A and B are shown apart, each in its own frame.
Chain A
Amino acid sequence: MGKYFHVFKIGIQNTLVYRVNFLFRALFGLIPLAGTLFVWRAIFADKGPDAQVGEYTLRAMVSYYLLVTFIDALTAVAEDDWQIASDIKDGLISQLLLKPVDYLTYRLSLYFSGRTTYTTVALIPVSLFAYYLRDYLVAPADVSTLGLFVVSVILAAFLQFFIAYAVAMLAFWVLDISTFIFIQFAFEYIASGHLFPLDILPPPLALALKFTPYPYLSFFPAAIYLGRVSGTELWQGLALQVFWVVACYGLARLLWARGVRRYSAVGG
């Protein structure tokens, strides 16, 4: 365990170099978010003061988007998938294969260090933005809701990483996987609840999405926080989230094992 903690610490030092870059990214990311919130405000204004969309009031809607932004800062893969793919393509994994290091755990440690730095930097603009919107924010119902929200976000982080890792494994078979990363990301963007809360979709569509891992990346933790899932539905959801984490972990391991067998160590 100790060696991976070292990897984590080195990863933090490496990513600190990009702190200004991270700040710009977080700052620029708030522009489309503000745009979306203005559009929602216009929709609610047209419908009257006590209007609801689905079961969302304007306050719940604004809170939802801020939660998703916050979860995104904590869990999104930034460069990890690209780096893994180029490690494979350029033959850099050779030197790691020779060391007593498990590549997946190694990358996971780096992912956590990247997220730690990014979240710390992004917290400045995001909390200022949240302060600006303070009148619209709702607090979680009770402490246990908050606790379950934290658990769900941690699971989402693992899920996010394993999905990215599995996609990056395609680099063993395909020379340039950037299109695959973008196609996967497009599905993730809409089906994880990034663009809008999934429960304002027509019910059959929302139900169909529940059978994919995507809602457990953003929508589900946010729904826990806002108290939109409770009782058996909540426990079922958490169980499914754990299932997807395990399934994607298995897939990531399987693809790695298959890939390494094909691996020809280009570039030595």
Chain B
Amino acid sequence: MTWLATLRRYAGLYGALWRNSVTRELQFKLNFILWIVVELLWFALQLAFMSVLYSHTESIGGWSKWEVVLLVGCANFVQQLFTALFLVNLTDLSEHIRTGRLDFMLLLPVNTRFLISLRKVDLGSYVNAAAALAVMVWAGSRLQLSPSFGQFVGFGALCLVGLMIHYSLMFLLSSIAFWTVRAQGIVWGYYNLFNIARLPESAFPAGAFRVVFTFLLPMLLVANVPAKVMVQKLSSPGEWLLLVFMGVACYAASELFWRISLRHYTSASS
């Protein structure tokens, strides 16, 4: 039963990290609320963009207006969960390396990747994830969807896979900081990729762009596949199998690169 003990230990650790984050966030209450407002504003902006597009057309790549609203909601849901759990921690990594604070983390008796990835919790993003969920429910009711239990489970599981893909890719990009100190630009560049995750993938013609963003950086899958499960657009089980496969592949690649990078680490101080 050792794995159960390990699990309990890590759950306890994460609880402590949560309490720390809550204390930190509550120091600046107004700022905390303003950040939520900023994110909600950008979310509203994406929806406004789609509604302008649909005032001139009936469908984009076979997707109707409310189907796309659901897709935008889904993309934002996954993105906000990613922000809540991981984003700050991953952008902090290059600072840990630059200042040598990573030495200290490597010496702690916990899995270093766990600590680096989950140290801070971005509470406001949970509020925004809830807003994204509400938009999906709203779109679903406009589409008069009545999803089965299986659809809910499939949707939830595939959203988690999408989350894993964002996390693995961003972790991989952050690890570049082991090799070059100025990796922050690359990490923030990832933000641009979120922009294409919320577009219907059928709008993209076969070509280099589509291949890259399906098989290399699977942005055209992370939100599209779960949303398709909900609006029953999946043409074959191959689509969700591909997403799961890409999720596992991205995670494996990030773990491999992390181990290679750690071996390359020489510490900044002493």
Assess the B205–A32 pair: CB atoms within 8 A: no
Cα distance A183–B34 in the bound complex, in angstroms = 9
- Report Cα–Cα, A155/B86, bound state, in Å: 41
> Which residue of A has the minimal Cβ distance to B186?
A24
Contact status B38-A189, CB under 8 Å: no
Number of interface residues of A (CB under 8 A): 32
User: A35 to B195, Cβ gap below 8 A?
Assistant: yes
Binary interface encoding of chain B residues 21-34 relative to chain A, with 1 for a CB under 8 A from any of its CBs, else 0: 00000001001001
Q: For residues 175 through 223 of chain A, which have their beta carbon under 8 Å from a beta carbon of chain B?
A: 176, 179, 182-183, 186, 189-190, 195-196, 200-202
Instruction: State the CA gap A189–B22 with chains docked (Å).
Output: 32
For residue A196, which residues in chain B have a CB less than 8 angstroms away from its CB? Answer: 49, 52-53
Most buried by A among B52, B196, B199: B52
> Would you give the shortest CB distance from A49 to chain B, in whole angstroms?
15
Let me know if A28 is at the binding interface, CB within 8 A.
Answer: yes
Given A25-B185, A25-B189, A190-B45 in contact, is the A179-B34 Cβ separation under 8 Å? Answer: yes
Instruction: Decide if B57 touches A39 in the complex (CB within 8 Å).
Output: no
Docked-complex contact A34 and B209, CB < 8 angstroms: yes
Chain A binding surface, main DSSP class: helix
A98 within 8 A of B: no
Contact A39 B185, beta carbon cutoff 8 Å: no
Set B34, B61, B185, B192: member contacting A42, Cβ < 8 A:
B61
One digit per residue, 1 when the CB lies within 8 angstroms of any chain A CB and 0 when it does not, for chain B 8-28 equals 000000000000000000001
Given contacts A28-B189, A42-B203, contact A176 B38 (CB under 8 A): no
A200 smallest CB distance to B (angstroms): 6
Interface size on B, residues (CB 8 A): 35
CA A240 to CA B31, docked complex, whole Å: 35
Residues of B within 8 A of A41 (CB): 203, 205
In the complex, whether B204 has a CB less than 8 A from a CB of chain A is yes
Q: Decide if A176 touches B60 in the complex (CB within 8 Å).
A: no
CB–CB A38/B192 < 8 A: no
B48 in contact with A190 (CB, 8 Å): yes
List, in ascending order, chain B residues with CB within 8 A of A195's CB: 45, 49, 52
Closest residue on chain A to residue B57 by CB atoms: A43
Given A47-B57, A179-B34, A200-B56, A35-B199 contact (CB < 8 Å):
yes
How distant is A56 from chain B, measured CB to nearest CB, in Å?
9
Q: Is B149 an interface residue (CB 8 A)?
A: no
Task: Give the CA-CA distance A2 to B209 in the complex, in Å.
Answer: 48
In the bound complex, residues from chain B placing their C-beta under 8 Å from that of A29 are 192
CB neighbours of B42 from chain A (8 A): 186
* Contact A39 to B199, CB < 8 A, known contacts A179-B37, A183-B38: yes
B182: chain A residues at CB < 8 Å are: 20-21
Q: Does A54 reach chain B (CB closer than 8 Å)?
A: yes
A46 within 8 A of B: yes
- B59 at the A interface (CB under 8 A): yes
Residue of A nearest to B63 (CB): A42
Which residues of chain B are within 8 angstroms of A42 by Cβ–Cβ distance? 60-61, 202-204
Q: Told that A186-B41, A189-B45 touch, could you supply 5 new A-B pairs with CB distance under 8 A? A: A21-B185, A32-B195, A35-B199, A39-B199, A41-B203
Q: Mind listing 27 A-B residue pairs with CB under 8 Å? A: A25-B185, A25-B189, A28-B189, A31-B192, A32-B196, A35-B195, A35-B196, A35-B199, A38-B204, A38-B205, A39-B53, A39-B199, A39-B203, A41-B203, A42-B203, A43-B56, A43-B60, A46-B60, A47-B57, A179-B31, A179-B35, A179-B37, A186-B38, A195-B49, A196-B53, A200-B52, A202-B55
